[in-house]
Amino acid sequence: MMRNWIAALMLMAVPASADVVGKVGVDWTGNDILIEAIADPAVQGVTCHLAYFDRSVIDRLSQGNWFEDPSNSAIECSRTGPIRIGDIQRGAKGEDVFSASRSLILKSLRVKRIYDEQNQVLVYLAHSDQLSEGSAKMSISTVALLPEEALPAK
């Protein structure tokens, strides 16, 4: 019984994994835009689609910056079934749903979920955890909850 509880706890702490559902060629050098589907591991019935730029080897060599991808990304999250909210963090800081490295060191693309309790909305924020060209690059999407899906007030 205790092992099952520990295994379930470990699974809940692991950020979601992404499945590539689209790949659009941008130019002749092999640069692509990838689109990934990310199911929120703690909120059943919500799937986010994240689009980002994937640099080719030719682009990396010509730009002289071998180890980094741009910080630009776009996100759209939607209801893909009945929503059942598990144990999520509340508060303005929210929690990471997904993270993937975008450079050899110190840069990753993150998707964070924030529960807007007052408006009964799940907010998903895609952002880089490193500033790029003087400003943070980000994208936001929201999923409104039905009254029966909302968490009880704390």
Inside any domain, residue 5:
no
**According to the model, what pLDDT value does residue 68 have?**
58
Better-predicted residue by pLDDT, 131 or 59:
59
Inside any domain, residue 6:
no
**According to the model, what pLDDT value does residue 57 have?**
60
pTM of the predicted structure, to 2 decimals:
0.75
Inside any domain, residue 118:
yes
Inside any domain, residue 3:
no
pLDDT at 2 over 60: no
Inside any domain, residue 31:
yes
Inside any domain, residue 9:
no
**According to the model, what pLDDT value does residue 120 have?**
94
Q: What is the domain count for the chain?
A: 1
Radius of gyration of the chain (CA): 17
Backbone angles phi, psi at 149, to 5 degrees: -95, -15
pLDDT at 42 over 80: yes
Give the integer Cα–Cα distance in Å for 93 and 95.
7
Better-predicted residue by pLDDT, 120 or 19:
120
Q: What is the pLDDT of residues 48-107, one digit of tens each?
A: 998 987 765 666 666 666 555 566 778 999 999 999 999 999 989 999 998 776 554 556
**According to the model, what pLDDT value does residue 7 have?**
34
Tokens of 13: 């702490």
Distances, alpha carbon 6 to alpha carbons 1, 44, 119, in Å: 9, 20, 33
Inside any domain, residue 1:
no
Backbone angles phi, psi at 93, to 5 degrees: -80, -20
Domain that holds residue 99: 14-149
